Structure 1
Amino acid sequence: MFKIFYLTCFLFLAGCTTIGFHQTSLRNSMSFGEEVNIRVCVIREPGIEPEEIQSLFTAWNEELSLYHLKAEPIPLAIMERPGFYGSDIIEYLVNKKMPEFCDRMLYLKGRTWGDIAYEVFTLGLFVGVGVKLEIQGAVETRTNTKGYIKAKYISTIQLLFTSPKSTLVHEGYHLLGCGHQLLMKECYERIRDVKLLLTDPKRDPNFFPNINAEGIKIVTRPI
């Protein structure tokens, strides 16, 4: 009975598109100011089509509308993956200078034969011993302005737990400085505080600010 309970909780949490449980009445009582656009420069791997990007951003913007925010995708490059693992992508992004017309940088990971083999291996581990190794996305924690998501996968078991759209919504919260929590109160406050930085006299007027994982204000565009 307890196993069924824990499995149910795990499936529910895994399918959650946010990084905690929403508190609607609390969120509605808070002021997030006027609507602001966030320019998100997109690097995509071959095989990811513009229509797919638009679909991803439509889902993300539906969530962002709760905070009077809108993400605007700006095509930056089409390129082969800088390395097999997600850590390779994060390292690449951390060392890549962010263009002056970007507020955030998002890498869309595709799906290669190597990925398919890795999916089979990791899913086998998950089914066999309950260990889940595969990561669907991540955001660097130095500035919380650069991240990646796995934008293509079709495994039935994977789709049971998540999807590219829900992964983008999830990582999108990290791109606004939010961490993980059970309830969303701290995240709401973080997004409010990030938007308040728009009036900070030290802010680069051509950059949408952020607050990183350590609470440091990011008011100028990172490298």
Structure 2
Amino acid sequence: MFTRIVYISLLLTLVLQCTTIGFHEKKIRERMEFGEESKFRVCLISEPNITKDEISDLFTAWNEELLYYKLKAEPVLLETLERPGFWGTDILGYLMDRQLTKDCDRLLYLKGRTWGDISFEILTLGIFVGVGLKLEVQGAVEGHTNTRGYIKAKYISTIQMLFTSPNSTLIHEGYHLLGCGHQLFMEECYKRIRDVKLLLTDPNRDPHFFPVITTNGKKILTRPEFLTFPNNE
């Protein structure tokens, strides 16, 4: 019985940690029209131990996924910063206090790997092996505007690399930054991205901001102000 529980947990974790936020539906996606090629700027706050090559690899992988939708994410490195707190909620709280500048459509924090992270990885690995419960969170996006988020951009533990990677984490959270929620299949996400791109012609849109329709259906046409709202992991 215990072995079966662990096996089921492994399968569920594999599904939940897939490279997207649902299973792709190729035929449906290929029938949809995503308009002209468009770009959006992702401003980065990076921890000191993350290299430019690692950032480049992350965005290469993300942009390969975005080709489906005739989109391209352009990284803009704002600054290198020591982590504002250990937990993901600390990072999101910090991002919510940051105003998006005129050069930023989205704000993304790249979390590195410290000795504290390594200790936590060992602890969570033991819990996972013992009861099949995975406690680590690899990234999150705030759910009020879907414009700010973070990812764990550097990790090498066995349990992490078994189910995910920095590239797949960015792809996953990247869909949230475009307004997609969690679903089993991707059709609704495709529609959301299509509708976001249609907002590029909205006369009320700030012409210097790439819009978003949040997971709750709210249209964001201008650069949002400071936030004090809970996150959407």
How would you bin the TM-score normalised by the shorter chain? Answer: over 0.9
Q: Could you list the runs of 5+ residues in structure 1 that have no partner in the other structure?
A: none
Q: Could you list the runs of 5+ residues in structure 2 that have no partner in the other structure?
A: 226-233
Deviates more, 1:150-159 or 1:9-18: 9-18
2:41 maps to 39
Q: Partner of 2:79: helix, strand, or coil?
A: strand
Contact 1:140 1:147 in 2 (8 A): yes
Contact 1:14 1:162 in 2 (8 A): no
Q: Partner of 2:32: helix, strand, or coil?
A: coil
Question: What is the TM-score normalised by the length of structure 1?
Answer: 0.96
1:122 aligns with 2:124: yes
| Cα distance in structure 2, aligned partners of 1:180 and 1:15 | 11
CA deviation map 1:92-149 (0-9, x unaligned): 1111001100111110000011111111111111111122111000000110011000
Alpha-carbon offset, residue 221 of structure 1: 0.4
Contact 2:10 2:132 in 1 (8 A): no
| Cα distance in structure 2, aligned partners of 1:5 and 1:132 | 13
Task: Give 1:192's aligned amino acid.
Answer: R
Task: Give 1:213's aligned amino acid.
Answer: T
Task: Give 2:31's aligned amino acid.
Answer: S
1:64 maps to 66
Contact 2:13 2:134 in 1 (8 A): no
| Cα distance in structure 2, aligned partners of 1:82 and 1:5 | 37
Task: Give 2:208's aligned amino acid.
Answer: N
Alpha-carbon offset, residue 46 of structure 1: 0.7
- Between the aligned residues of both structures, percent identity stands at 65
1:221 maps to 223
Alpha-carbon offset, residue 12 of structure 1: 4.0
Alignment of 1:93-104 (within 5 A): 93-104=95-106
| Cα distance in structure 2, aligned partners of 1:77 and 1:212 | 27
Contact 1:32 1:68 in 2 (8 A): yes
1:65 to 1:95, Cα distance in 2 relative to 1, 3 A: same
Q: Partner of 2:156: helix, strand, or coil?
A: coil
Question: What is the TM-score normalised by the length of structure 2?
Answer: 0.92
1:205 aligns with 2:171: no
Length, aligned pairs only:
223
1:158 maps to 160
Alignment of 1:68-107 (within 5 A): 68-107=70-109
